[in-house]
């Protein structure tokens, strides 16, 4: 009883509450969950019939309710992205590569990717070795 009375107009001190008992933890959540559950149960029973009745008797209100379900502000961003996050120059190289493979190996589409890759790898190695041989023989010819 010796507690000082709170003076009207002064804010509560940090940690002080007008209701020391307070609302039990989770009470609002339980209420909200129960209410939503009750509304869902009622809607499944009465909702479709209520909508049908409203659509027939008060179509203006019906359209108004339906329009409220559509978000007012819809932000849409359209961004074109090439597969694999490739930039346009790399994508162009990939298309040329695939086209070249299809020209050299017409049945590439019917083969396993690993077999096609093996073919391409072998062809590149063969081309590199012949280029290396040509470069070496050219150097030897110029030295003699």
Give residue 3's pLDDT: 65
Give residue 44's pLDDT: 93
Residues 59 and 92 in one domain: no
Query: From CA 120, how far away is CA 114, in angstroms rounded?
Result: 10
Give tens-digit pLDDT for 30-73.
788 888 899 999 999 999 999 999 999 999 999 998 888 887 77
Specify if 1 maps to a domain.
no
pTM comes to 0.34
Contacts 24+ apart (CB under 8 A), 135-142: none
Residues 133 and 95 in one domain: yes
Kindly state the helix (H) or strand (E) to which residue 104 belongs, with its residue range: helix 88-104
Give residue 15's pLDDT: 67
Give residue 43's pLDDT: 92
Query: From CA 50, how far away is CA 16, in angstroms rounded?
Result: 48
Quick count: other Cβ atoms within 10 Å of Cβ 86? 13
Specify if 38 maps to a domain.
yes
- What domain range includes position 50? 27-68
Query: From CA 131, how far away is CA 137, in angstroms rounded?
Result: 10
């Amino acid at each position: 009883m010796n507690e000082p009375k709170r003076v009207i107009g002064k804010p509560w001190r940090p940690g002080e509450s007008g209701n020391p008992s307070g609302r039990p933890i989770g009470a609002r959540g339980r209420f909200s969950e129960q209410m939503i559950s009750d509304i869902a149960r009622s809607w499944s029973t009465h909702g479709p019939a209520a909508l049908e009745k409203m659509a027939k008797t008060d179509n203006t209100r019906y359209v108004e309710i339906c329009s409220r379900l559509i978000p007012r502000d819809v932000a849409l961003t359209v961004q074109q992205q090439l597969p694999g996050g490739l930039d346009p120059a790399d994508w162009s190289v990939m298309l040329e590569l695939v086209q070249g493979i299809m020209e050299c190996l017409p049945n590439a589409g019917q083969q396993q990717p690993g077999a096609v890759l093996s073919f391409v790898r072998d062809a590149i190695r063969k081309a590199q070795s012949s280029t290396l041989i040509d470069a070496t023989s050219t150097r030897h010819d110029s030295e003699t």
